[in-house]
Each structure stands twice: as C-alpha cells, then as structure tokens.
A and B are shown apart, each in its own frame.
Chain A
C-alpha cells in the first residue's frame, strides 16, 4: 500500500509550519510521528496535497514541571512521556497511559500532540488528558489560544483545531495519587474496546475511551460520586447518556456493560492508590 503523491516539506519551526499551512489549509496536513496519518494515507483515506513534517521542529519535545501543572510539548513521543521522571512523579496516569499505547515501535514514533490532534475516540491519551483536566495550547495565524480538553474533543476525528493551527503544548493537572487506567482489549497491542481514565482527588473525573464519537466523560458516575454515592452505584451510571459504537470488537450494549465494570475497577483502584 503506497500513499497517493504529495509534496513533502520539512518545517524547522512552528512559524514556518504555520506559514505553509496558511497557503492552502484544506489540502495541507501536518505530519508528526505519522502513526495515525500514514496508515490513513496508505489506505488513501487521506490524500493531502502537501505534507508539512513538523517531526523535527526543535523545542517541542519536553515534559516540564510548571508549578501547579505539568506541561508536555506536542512532539513528545509516547515513549518519552512513559519514562519521564516528571510525568511519573506528578502525573503517573499520563506516564502509564503513554506506556499502554500500541506497542514499543508505535511508542517510538507516535507523539502526544498527534494523538490529541487526531481526536480518535479509541485513543487512550485523549481520555487521560480529559481526566486530568487538560488544557491544549494552540498556535495559529490569529495568535495563541488555550482550549480546555472538555471543549477540544468535538466529534469523530474532529477537534477544536482549525486546519491552519498547530497544537504546541498539552497541560495537565498534577495528580500524584488517586488515579487509575483500565483498558480492555482482546489481544496485546490492540486498541481498547473500552477504556477508563479516572482521577479521584479534588472531585472525581472519569473519562472513557471508545464510548462515543469522541472521548467522553462519564457524567452519570461523576454526578453520583459528587452526591455521595458508593463506587458500585456510581459505576452503574457510567454509560448514562452515551452512545457507544457497535463494531467487530463489540456491540454498543456490550460496551455499556463493559463501561460499568471497568469504571468500578478504576474507581476501586484509584481510591486504593490514595484517592
């Protein structure tokens, strides 16, 4: 499988990438690790005319302690998030989830920015960032803006990013304790059939993988916990208001059931880990 022809340009800076994007935003695509985009291009589900490779833009790969939050550069690879001392100390959920993405080869190429920008409901990192009350820092021709994760994920492969913008940083709230991630799949390396990222300190936030057109919060569970319900009761409300997909991996009904089980396990684990 070979992608359709395109013009390849390697950007040396965000400004250069923005300049190229602005020339023809609709047929230009950014390339980071390429582990979502290249498979789509090989299947010819994506046929950009110009590919702007930002993979080597310097200064966008870091995990930094920024006081009340942790800042992660958009080009930080999953592997580098996974082994980051800062991430492990202050947002172990993020480090753990990065280590659950695909397989080692995927983690050596894929970036956190690519995963967030792609907005796939089956992806793990968007759920972690949503549970960690994340903020996405976006640079564009109209300057810089910050969008909360709750407003960022809009629909299937659809985010708040405009075609002429670049995601540059991901900020997440520190949560050294009281977290859990549950990923249910049938084979090693697979995507989650359903996944749960939970943070229980300072008001529980529970985000779900593959339970809708995009990454979603388990509002029913969060409301129940806020009202003082126990874990089992709160977990039973996990699928409330959600419309999970039906596919070869499982029916919508199966996913609803799975969500209640996995949310219960996640809340038990998060609470046990110091929530």
Chain B
C-alpha cells in the first residue's frame, strides 16, 4: 500500500507492506537509523519519535497509521547547519548519556514532555520519562539535562 507522510519536514511516499511498522519504515526504507529498536515490545522507549508533535513508540505503530501525518525523528532535531537542538545541547552539557543507545528516544520523549510541561518539577520529569529506559546513566543526569533544557525554554522543534 502507498503511504505518504512528512518526516522531518520532507514529504515521503512509498509503497510498503501493510504490516510494516513505523520504526522499520524510518530505519530501513528512509535510512533514518537514529531511531533505535531496543525491546521491540513497547517497553523501552528507544524507538520514540514525535507524531504530530507528541511522543509515540514507533515499534508499536504501523507505517500505515502514520499516513498523512507529521513525524519528527532525532535526525530532525539539530538545525540543517548542524547546530544542536537545545535539548541535545543540554544532554551534552549535563552528560545525560553514556552508551547513547537510549538517547534518541530520550530526546524525543523530552521534546514531547516539555511541550506538555514547560516548567516541570524534578518529580514531574521523572514521571514524564517513565516510558524510556536507560541501562547506563542511572537517570540522574538525564533528569538534570531535562530540567536544564526546560530552563533554557527548549520546546519541541
């Protein structure tokens, strides 16, 4: 079936199998491998992307369900000149990553969270990122990075 969607501001249109999951469409058809697959069971959040500005787990959505919609992946966060998005900058500044596997999903989850909670408390950040697992950092610096991004007024792209 034909699916057409806007990904990081560009229109994409491809003939895919109905059963193709959005994450595989992004990674394998569009070559946007920044979005990772961790658990493949809707638990870890590594595959988080924005659907019309809201975080979703792209391993649990069909590409067909995104037809006509707007998707933002980690590749769409930095400017075309390579200037990091304020959330990415905050992760770098506060060492919010170690191996980096969870990071693309974390950054997208944070982007959605800050839109809904522009001035969050630390507790709200911890609750708000409950859909994303990190096996390295112990979360502390991710939470600090998110609070710093909020202070910097970093909303979604």
Contact = CB atoms under 8 A, between A and B. Distances in A.
Contacts of A8: 1, 18, 62, 64
- The CB with the most chain A CB atoms within 10 A, among B24, B54, B56, B60, is that of B60
Q: Do most interface residues of chain B lie in helix, strand or loop, or is the interface mixed? A: mixed
A34 B60 contact: yes
Given A34-B65, A103-B130, A104-B109, A109 B60 contact: yes
B19 A53 contact: no
Given A5-B17, A103-B45, A104-B55, A38 B61 contact: yes
Interface residues of A, number: 28
Interface string A63-101: 000000000000000010000000000000000000000
Interface string B56-74: 1100111011010000000
Interface in B56-108: 56-57, 60-62, 64-65, 67
Contact of A105 (B40, B109, B116): B109
Contacts of A103: 45, 130-132
A249 interface: no
B18 to A, nearest CB: 4
Interface of B: 1, 17-19, 21, 24, 40-43, 45, 48, 51, 54-57, 60-62, 64-65, 67, 109, 112-113, 116, 127-128, 130-132
Given A3-B19, A34-B61, A104-B113, 7 more contacts: A31-B65, A35-B60, A39-B41, A39-B60, A105-B109, A108-B51, A108-B112
Ranked 5 nearest A-B pairs via Cβ: A103-B131, A8-B18, A188-B130, A108-B54, A105-B131
Interface of A: 1-8, 10, 31, 34-35, 38-39, 42, 51, 53, 55, 79, 102-106, 108-109, 188-189
